[in-house]
Amino acid sequence: MEQLAAQIEQYKTEISAATASNKEELEAFRIKYLGTKGLVKTIMGEMKNVAPDKKKEAGQLLNEFKIFTEQKFESLSSNAGTGSFTPGQTIDTSLPGYPLPLGARHPISIIQNKIISIFHKLGFAVAEGPEIEDDWHNFSALNLPENHPARDMQDTFYISQNPAWLLRTHTSSVQIREMEKGKLPLRIICPGRVYRNETISARAHCFFNQVEGLYIAENVSFADLKQTLYFFVKEMFGNDVKVRFRPSYFPFTEPSAEMDISCLICGGTGCSVCKKTGWVEILGCGMVHPNVLDNCGIDSNKYTGFAFGMGIERITMLSYQIKDLRLFSENDIRFLNQFTTAL
Ligand code: PHE
């Protein structure tokens, strides 16, 4: 009886220390201790060697041992594979602790979503297209024939295996694809990543994000363009921000303009962000060139349209007062964690 008690104590210590971090280890435990040839059954067999007057005592002891082992099995089953750990089990200290930290949206996504929702109020739908483009959709259809000097404005990455393909330099290519579908009127914005072979600095990167917009219908005028962009600026930056248009040149629009807003950092008095001018440029725009409409099979005598394009990085930097564009692609968690909602 004493031997039996000592034996059971030893087994209990062993069982207490047992672990099972997955289904296989749990099953191994069950077979070893609770299976038909397992330890509990085997030790039950010892009953026959116990003196008759001790049988009751031994029965209790063995029964208690059986319950102890079953309880251990149950606690192992509820933990196995759930990430909980019993003492003595190895813990992967490289895993994050509980509660698991919540991720945050990337600031570019926050601002992109905000831009989309503003234009959504005016009835603009989102259109997307491929990042690898052909020459037609990125250039030729946009009134930029081969050897046109304006192609140099956008340093292009060509695909080395097939120079007929390139990484789109703007999402105007998506506008061409949508116009080619021929469904009018058309009112879309095209968010997406674009690529240009530029030296990486605090103000430029070889990839960035744009939102371009396009509205084509009968009798669309430059006044419509201005009102649309005024609405956008007020919604995006508030009522106090001033807006101005400067004449500009883009091959795909005529007339063309660039739009500035009063500097959000200094309020227009002059600082390093606005280069002491009080104004920052945020987008290019204009009336869609008739050649572009004709290239897409749209009757340029019947339809007119406006287009605009902006860099999301620029808008995001102004919104959050971020001074270096490289921060957006470095993925430093200390930077990314600071953004929860649009301002
Ligand atoms: N596609 C031009 C760019 O990437 C922006 C733009 C779009 C300008 C539409 C005018 C009209 O720079």
Tell me the domain boundaries of the chain: 2-79, 107-339
Span 241-297, pLDDT tens digits:
999 999 999 999 999 999 999 998 888 888 888 889 999 999 999 999 999 999 999
214 Cβ inside 6 Å of ligand 1 = no
170 Cβ inside 6 Å of ligand 1 = yes
Average pLDDT over residues 97-101: 76
- Closest Cα to atom 10, ligand 1: which residue? 285
Q: How far apart are CA 109 and CA 124, in angstroms?
A: 18
213 Cβ inside 6 Å of ligand 1 = no
State phi, psi for 94 to the nearest 5 degrees.
-85, -10
Closest CA to 298 of 307, 311, 289, 308: 289
Instruction: Ligand 1, residue 210: give the atom nearest the CA.
Output: 4
For residue 31, how many other CB atoms are within 10 A of its CB?
A: 12
- Among 133, 173, 209, 252, which is best to mutate for testing ligand 1, by the most ligand atoms less than 8 A from CB? 252
Q: What is the CA radius of gyration of the chain?
A: 35
Q: Residue 315's pLDDT band (boundaries 50, 70, 90)?
A: very high
CATH code for the domain defined by 107-339: 3.30.930.10
Query: Taking the mean position of all CA atoms in its chain, how far away is CA 226?
Result: 32
- Closest Cα to atom 9, ligand 1: which residue? 308
- Closest Cα to atom 6, ligand 1: which residue? 309
pTM above 0.85, yes or no: no
- How do 132-134 and 243-250 pair as beta strands? unpaired
